[in-house]
Amino acid sequence: MVEALDTQACLLVVNEITHKLSGILDESEAVQLFLSEIISELDADGALLRMLNPAGDTLTLLGAAGLSEAYLKKGNVKLVESEVDQRVMKGEVVVVQDVTSEPGFQYPEEAGKEGLRGMVVVPLTVRNRQVGVLRVYITDVNILSQVKITLLCILADMGALTIEKIRLHQSLYRIAKALNSTLNLEELLNKVLEATVVELGLKAASIRLFDPRRQVLRLVAAFGLSEAYLEKGDVHVDKSPIDKRVMQGETVVLYEVATEPGFEYPKAAVREGIRSVLVVPLLLRERAIGVIRVYSSQPRSFGKVAITFLTSVAGLVALSIENAELYSALNKQYEDLKLDLAEWYRFLALG
């Protein structure tokens, strides 16, 4: 009976926090509310969120509550130095009795100075992919029932989805704003790629436009890629079955480029540290004018949300390319007209 009441109380907590988070579109505000609610519900000493970086080797601080600035400034968590977080990033829930004597904890001395002892760490999971960790510090972790630990896991996943929703919403807004900020095509595309890479937590991105005369995809913008990789040359559509499919309107996900037979430059991609690639067509009135690619340094399946997001970006980019090219053409006609008028006035003056 006690456990049933505990479960009912936890469901009410989930419902309450869900409603509070649903109307927030600011990431820092959502994170602070989320952590404060967890501390209040579990009577914890503090809590924090860390997100996995694009390289997949470091957990960076996203937000914290109940912890001092001195403790938070101790640095990022390197997975190679934290056995606890290695386990959590594989989907495990880790309960630590005393972090000051835990061999798999990276900062035991700093935790001791902060007065921390017990800790529960659960993964932040989005569509079966671990994207970060939630740490909750409780002096005596033995008081936590299994129902409360399950509650923590549910809240962690809910928090991860909330953060993703906010980031995608804000990133589309920023990308649309960037597209309206300039008619300089190169500057415009570079801004879009940078925002896309940052928001999706990726390694790099590129845009290639189709040259129908040479039947190649010509690089027009890139972010996060080395000069050596970019110098490999144009992508020949007849040598790249992947891009041939994309130019026919298909979206393609490459989970592991090293073993993908349809990728034109697999060895160069491996040297660049590229593992997974998502390729989406740039469609203008149902005609593909090029492709946008995003690259991950970690194996990534790219689910529906990422594909939908990049497809939306691709649509905005295609329209912006058309507008920029139209502006350039009109500007050239205007300059030609000014020259014609100047010649005409010169002719009249001579007459």
Q: What domains lie within the chain, and their CATH numbers? A: 2-167 (3.30.450.40), 180-338 (3.30.450.40)
Structure tokens of 188?
């415009």
340 pLDDT band, cuts 50/70/90, is very low
Residue 134 has pLDDT above 90, yes or no: yes
Q: Which residues, 6 or more positions from 113, have their beta carbon under 8 angstroms from its beta carbon? A: 70, 71
Q: How do residues 74-126 score in pLDDT, each as one tens digit?
A: 889 999 999 999 999 999 999 999 999 988 888 999 999 999 999 999 999 98
For residues 147 and 179, the model is more confident at: 147
335 pLDDT band, cuts 50/70/90, is very low
**Which residue shows structure tokens 């559509």?**
237
Region 247-255 average pLDDT: 94
Number of C-alpha atoms within 13 angstroms, CB side, residue 186? 2
pTM of the model: 0.66
